[in-house]
């Protein structure tokens, strides 16, 4: 009996230590971006120049930068916009999507490794019911939250604290971010093409109007889904 009590106490202590490490990681990540020169390099000019010097490795480096940026709480819209502006609408979409998936997966495992035990110990009966439901419906839950544009980075870490299976989280994320990512990169990439060409008359082209319409439409996706989703 005493051994069981000691084992439980040791498990709780270990979970608390991991939770504190998780909290320290989040604080450190935010402070690192806020008070170091990292944010100064997140511009089209500086990041674009750096990637140009990387040659054939530019796309790989960008995807790694994107993944690390996600874990450091750098806004996904900023990283996505940079990818579209630097690589264009189509390749920008590919590199952004891969980078986002790498970052989402890494953040999930950080949350799962450092925070899951402590979160589980705090789960009451009501929260346990929701936790179990997320485990049963992990793919649908993840897909829905991605489609309604639930904040990207907090969700990555937060889902790691739940019982959702990684494969459900991964596939739900992979499908859920496709639409929004493509629409945003297509819009920014199209504007970049006009800017580079210097032909401002192309602003009234069908492609520009289509990209703008799709971009505006993307903001209505959450409302549409909420209307058709059963209570």
188, 95 Cβ separation under 8 angstroms: no
Q: Cα separations (Å) of 38 from 47, 64, 72, 83, 101?
A: 11, 14, 10, 17, 22
Task: Give the predicted TM-score (pTM) of the model.
Answer: 0.84
Residue-level pLDDT at 85: 92
Taking Cα atoms as reference points, which of 149, 72, 61, 81 lies closest to residue 107? Answer: 72
The stretches in the chain having pLDDT less than 50 are: 2-7, 230-231
Domain spans, the chain: 2-181
Are the C-beta atoms of residues 130 and 159 closer than 8 Å to each other?
Answer: no
159-209 pLDDT tens trace: 999 999 999 999 999 999 988 888 888 888 877 777 666 665 555 666 666
């Amino acid at each position: 009996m005493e051994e069981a009590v000691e084992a439980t106490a040791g498990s709780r202590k270990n979970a608390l230590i991991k939770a504190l490490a998780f909290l320290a990681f989040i604080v450190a990540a935010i402070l690192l971006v806020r008070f170091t020169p990292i944010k100064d390099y997140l511009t089209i000019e500086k990041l674009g120049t750096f990637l140009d010097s990387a040659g054939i490795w530019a796309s790989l480096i960008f995807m790694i930068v994107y993944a690390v940026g996600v874990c450091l709480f750098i806004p996904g819209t900023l990283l996505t916009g940079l990818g579209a502006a630097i690589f264009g609408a189509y390749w920008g979409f590919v590199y952004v999507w891969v980078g986002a998936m790498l970052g989402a997966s890494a953040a999930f495992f950080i949350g799962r490794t450092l925070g899951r035990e402590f979160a589980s110990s705090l789960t009451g009966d009501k929260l346990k019911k929701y936790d179990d439901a997320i485990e049963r419906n992990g793919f649908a839950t993840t897909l829905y939250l991605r489609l309604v544009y639930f904040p990207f980075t907090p969700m990555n870490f937060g889902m790691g604290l739940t019982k959702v299976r990684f494969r459900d989280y991964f596939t739900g994320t992979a499908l859920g971010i496709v639409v929004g990512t493509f629409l945003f990169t297509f819009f920014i990439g199209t504007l970049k093409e006009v800017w580079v060409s210097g032909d401002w008359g192309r602003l009234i082209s069908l492609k520009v109007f289509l990209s703008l319409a799709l971009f505006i439409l993307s903001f209505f996706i959450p409302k549409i889904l909420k209307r058709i989703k059963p209570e």
